[in-house]
Structure 1
Amino acid sequence: MIVGKTKKTWGLLSLASVPLVMTLGNSMLIPVLPTIGKQLQISSFMVSLLITVYSVVAIVFIPIAGYISDHVGRKPVIVPSLIIAGIGGLMAGLAAWKMDNAYWVILIGRLLQGIGAAGASPIVMPFVGDLFKNNQDVSEGLGIIETANTFGKVLSPIFGAVLASIIWYLPFFSFPIFCFVSIFLVLFLVESPPLAKKPTNLTRFLKSMKKIFKREGRWLYVVFFVGGMCMYILFGVLFYLSSFLEEAHHIDGIRKGVILAFPLMALCLTSYGTGRIIGQDQIKMKWMTVAGLCLLAVSTFVVSFNKELYVMLTALFAAGVGIGAALPSLDAFVTEGIPMEQRGSVTSFYNSMRFVGVAIGPPLFALFMKGNHFWTFAGNALLVVLSVLLVFWGVRPHKKVSQTWQ
């Protein structure tokens, strides 16, 4: 029994490497984007597409990957996806190194990375639900996965700035190495549980999904919206803070990366703690979500009144704590509340909404920054308050997840 639990622990840690790697592959380019623009002599809009294409492609392919994983298994989707993502990173690095007009080849490489990301990181959530039968273990496992995801965001600005200070295109080459390590871990340390049922044809699958959303739609739509909103606020605020540090305080490079890491570190540690606290108790999940969103609303509203650096950093640290409390609870709701045979597909829609938040956060905040600072943050604080009201309206938990969605 101990051996079995040890195997599952190593399997969980190996799975946690997947969101860590995928996050590094995208987020570590953020502090390097100005340098890439100068080296390739392209506009800021063209540079921003290197981030946007990754997220947009992932949004499209995540539901497809989720559907396939429900029918052929999680590992047969995750491993090839990591290979595709690694090839994309290698293509981008070689183009940046060897080609004169490398931009379009780099963009294609980023597109491949987005396709790989769609079949890798989002499939990890239902995989955790498959590995553990005890909901307490599932919640703790999802907390670790969310922590790994956030830890990747913590490392990304620092790691990207360090690598780019050596050679500007080194971040592209580092990604295939990370993918190879994750592939090795998943292949040899993760055991795939048997599929719940034999694969169903597409027509029957669509009917079953329609039935699930008809029966569970009220809480699912709320969880989808709130998850996307959290990622929108997170990436939008990070973009805003990155620009603010450079323009107002002339802080860039590794120093800027370290400062950006502080609110992300708060998110990382809170995610881990939340996963251990909520267990299988849906009431705790709901109140952790509400508490986290309330803290996020207050901290966002505080920033609207003050542009002092230390006030902003303190408030954004608190915002990181708030998002760190909400996300693992949302993950647990959507993972534990869906039968195994549809879990990959439903969680894939949830992850697509999170990627929508990632994709729209920076450009929308860039647009807001041209206007009034107060309304930029006060308006988004009102959006978070709306999310709190939606959680109260749509999520009605029982003490045990297994009793809730019957």
Structure 2
Amino acid sequence: MDRKQKWSLWALSSVPLVMTLGNSMLIPVLPLIEKKLKITDFQVSLIITIYSIVAILLIPVAGYLSDKWGRKKVIIPSLLIAGIGGAFTGWVSWKFETPFMWILIGRVIQGVGSAGAMPVVIPCVGDMFEDEKQVSTGLGLVETSNTLGKVLSPILGSLLASFVWFLPFWFIPVLCIISIILIIFFVKPPKQKQEAPPLKIFLQNVKSILCEKGRWLFPIFLLGGIVMFILFGVLFYLSSILEKKYHLDGVWKGVVLAIPLASLSLTSYLTGKKIGNNKTIMKWCICIGFFLLGITLIIPIFFKNIYIIIVCLVFSGLGIGVSLPSLDALITEGIQKEQRGSITSLYSSMRFVGVAAGPPVFALLMKGPDNYIFLLSIFLAIGGAILAFFFIKPKTDEKSGVENKEA
């Protein structure tokens, strides 16, 4: 990896950092927004969900356009739209007495921008390198940047909201501008060798890929959705109980939320560096990561002490951190560059499904005993480990002698 590629990779890594901060930064602030706007748990969870729903619908479109026009030409306008959405949300929160519906509109605009930002970064990293080991390392850095955003977001969100509750919304356009500047000056993706096919032929190609490789692609799509569902659901739950049950708010609540996310971030970085192009190791990382996520969430069912819950979530973060870079690498390295943006966008859409569904589902479950939350998470995590074990089957390519993940 030469110096220019390293700078490009670091600049690209700013995109998931910005997009994650723009969403996760609001999680510790949701109870405060709920009080200020006098809305319910479920309504406030929609601030996260509506953003993700819009992204889910538009990510495949962004993936196709990135294959057709180029990654950079999609990422930069998307960041600009996301910044406009953040500024609009901050402005209506400042100027309107009852801004809830206007905030949702602003989050819709932000979701439009996010659809063409983070999801397009993954195939862009795949385009930059020919060597699969470098792709895995690059994706590990991108996933680390994503999780680093999750680590910083509760602290930064809580800190900004301690001054004015809607200040986190205003911070989003600032972050987007910084990322745009980095992308313009440092990212030099390789030129496409051939023009993307017309939409009709493109859809036929995607259908052909899904039919041919669906046996391992669909499980990876599902696993990406499961892991984000559990992560964002648990973060929403933890943010709520820290404030309502343990009376911990402000920056200190952000620090506590950042502890399990720090373990996730560090593990993502180390996993991305170590897995290389060994798809058997990737499979076992996914299996072990999901299994670890599941078994560590059994303990809070029997012990309700907040310190024990935090320790369990630290180990759960290890499980997620091992799984995510492996899922990213498997799906990126298994698709040709011409269709990579479109197929990885479907994977990103499923991850956003998890982000969208987690907070509202957990908000509804919080009306009953806490055990419901943990039982659902355990069931999904263990089910994910079983799914990965039986349906992700790397094998050796007879011609090259290297591993191939197609079953």
> Which residue does the alignment assign to 1:243?
240
2:122 aligned with 1:125, yes or no?
A: yes
After superposition, the CA RMSD in angstroms is 1.7
Using the size of structure 1 for normalisation, the TM-score is 0.95
Superposition deviation, residue 238 in structure 1: 1.1
2:348 aligned with 1:347, yes or no?
A: no
Of 34, 37, 54, which aligns to 2:31?
Answer: 34
Using the size of structure 2 for normalisation, the TM-score is 0.95
Structure 2: distance between partners of 1:381 and 1:196: 45
2:142 aligned with 1:173, yes or no?
A: no
Confirm or deny: 8 A CA contact 1:59 1:356 kept in the other structure: yes
Structure 2: distance between partners of 1:176 and 1:376: 34
2:265 aligned with 1:284, yes or no?
A: no
Confirm or deny: 8 A CA contact 1:11 1:189 kept in the other structure: yes
Superposition deviation, residue 42 in structure 1: 4.2
> Which residue does the alignment assign to 2:148?
151
Structure 2: distance between partners of 1:99 and 1:247: 27
Structure 2: distance between partners of 1:58 and 1:186: 21
> Which residue does the alignment assign to 1:106?
103
Question: Are the structure 2 counterparts of residues 124 and 18 from structure 1 closer, same or farther at C-alpha, using a change threshold of 3 Å?
Answer: same
Matches within 5 A, 1:51-62: 51-62=48-59
2:233 aligned with 1:232, yes or no?
A: no
3-state SS of paired residue (2:267): helix
Identity %: 52
User: How many residues were matched structurally?
Assistant: 403
Letter in 1 for 2:184: L
> Which residue does the alignment assign to 1:264?
261
Superposition deviation, residue 390 in structure 1: 1.1
Superposition deviation, residue 356 in structure 1: 0.6
- Unaligned runs of at least 5 residues, structure 1: none
Question: Are the structure 2 counterparts of residues 396 and 26 from structure 1 closer, same or farther at C-alpha, using a change threshold of 3 Å?
Answer: same
Confirm or deny: 8 A CA contact 2:133 2:276 kept in the other structure: yes
Confirm or deny: 8 A CA contact 1:281 1:398 kept in the other structure: no
> Which residue does the alignment assign to 2:357?
360
Stretch of structure 1 that moved more, 202-211 or 238-247: 238-247
> Which residue does the alignment assign to 2:195?
198
Kindly provide the CA deviation profile for residues 140-185 of structure 1, in whole angstroms up to 9, marking residues without a partner as x: 0000000000010111111011111112221111111100000000
Confirm or deny: 8 A CA contact 1:280 1:401 kept in the other structure: no
Superposition deviation, residue 196 in structure 1: 3.7
Superposition deviation, residue 106 in structure 1: 2.4
Structure 1: distance between partners of 2:353 and 2:402: 27
Structure 1: distance between partners of 2:202 and 2:20: 31
Confirm or deny: 8 A CA contact 1:304 1:375 kept in the other structure: no
2:92 aligned with 1:95, yes or no?
A: yes
2:86 aligned with 1:80, yes or no?
A: no
Letter in 2 for 1:211: S
Kindly provide the CA deviation profile for residues 197-240 of structure 1, in whole angstroms up to 9, marking residues without a partner as x: 21211111111111101110010011111111011111111111
Matches within 5 A, 1:287-366: 287-366=284-363
- Unaligned runs of at least 5 residues, structure 2: none
Structure 1: distance between partners of 2:318 and 2:211: 33
Structure 1: distance between partners of 2:39 and 2:315: 37
